[in-house]
Every structure is written in C-alpha cells, then in structure tokens.
Amino acid sequence: MTLPSAYDYVRNIKNAQLTIHDPIQVGDPNLWIPDEFLEELLNNKLMGLNVNYPIRTRSKVVKQAVCDALGYPIEQKFPKYQPRFTGQNFDTYNQQSYNLQIWNEEVSPQRRYVIIGINSQNIIFKVKVISGYELALLDTTGTIT
C-alpha cells in the first residue's frame, strides 16, 4: 500500500467536485488534507505570488489562490462563514507584520489557522499551518501578537 501524496488529496477533491463549504470528516483518508500536506500544497502554489492589491482585493485573490491550490472551484465571493474553508476547517490570515490578531472570535483549538506571510514588496514568502491549540499556547495576552 502506498501512502498518499499531497497531490492525491487535490485530485480527490477535484474528482468529488467539492466546494470549500462541503463538510469533510476530520481524518477522512481521501479528502481531509493533513496539516503537513496542507502547508506543502499552499507553499508550493502561493510562494512568490504578487499580492500588491488593496487589502480586500488581496484577501480575495489569496483565498482564490488557496481554492486553486487545493482543487476546489474558485469562489467569486467568500461568504462570512467561520471558518471560511469550512470543509478543511481553516481560515486564512494574510500577514505583513509579525502580530497576528484574531478579530471577533475566540481561538478554536480544533480549527486550523493558515498564516500567509507577505513581505514588504507584497510577495507571499511563506505559508504556515498551525492548530488553534498551538496558537492558543502562544496567546499570553488575549491578542495574539
């Protein structure tokens, strides 16, 4: 038995014709992308992407790139679901500074947080996937900086 690669999950999601909102059981061997593969896929697709747009447009462009990287159809609008990527249980955070702040909600230990590093030239240089549990350990002030 061969172990799945990161790209097997992308193929499976495309073949299943899922959207980012379709529920997936955590740990599903065919559709749930493990953290390390999620990080690999997003780094491979997003690193080097120029996101020199106004903040809201940049957010949308990044989310569309995430959809494409994971095999989901590219959304034209991203309704305010929490988390936005409901099926894979994660939200994206575009960070040009080193102080992540989660607004209007508590950090959820079960949720995954995809932190997208953007440099001063507006180029994505790194994507990090972290669990809510790990993130909460870093939050000693209640503001996560």
In sequence order, the 6+-apart residues with CB closer than 8 A to the CB of 102 are 93, 113, 135, 144
Task: Please report whether residue 71 resides in a domain.
Answer: yes
Q: What domain range is 21 assigned to? A: 6-138
Residue 95: half-sphere exposure toward Cβ, Cα within 13 Å: 20
Task: Please report whether residue 132 resides in a domain.
Answer: yes
Task: Write the pLDDT tens digit of every residue in 32-69.
Answer: 999 999 999 999 999 999 999 998 899 999 999 999 99
The C-alpha atoms of residue 122 and residue 130 are separated, in whole angstroms, by 22
Task: Please report whether residue 143 resides in a domain.
Answer: no
Task: Please report whether residue 144 resides in a domain.
Answer: no
Task: Write the pLDDT tens digit of every residue in 81-139.
Answer: 888 899 999 999 898 877 666 666 777 788 999 999 999 999 999 999 999 888 877 76
Task: Please report whether residue 69 resides in a domain.
Answer: yes
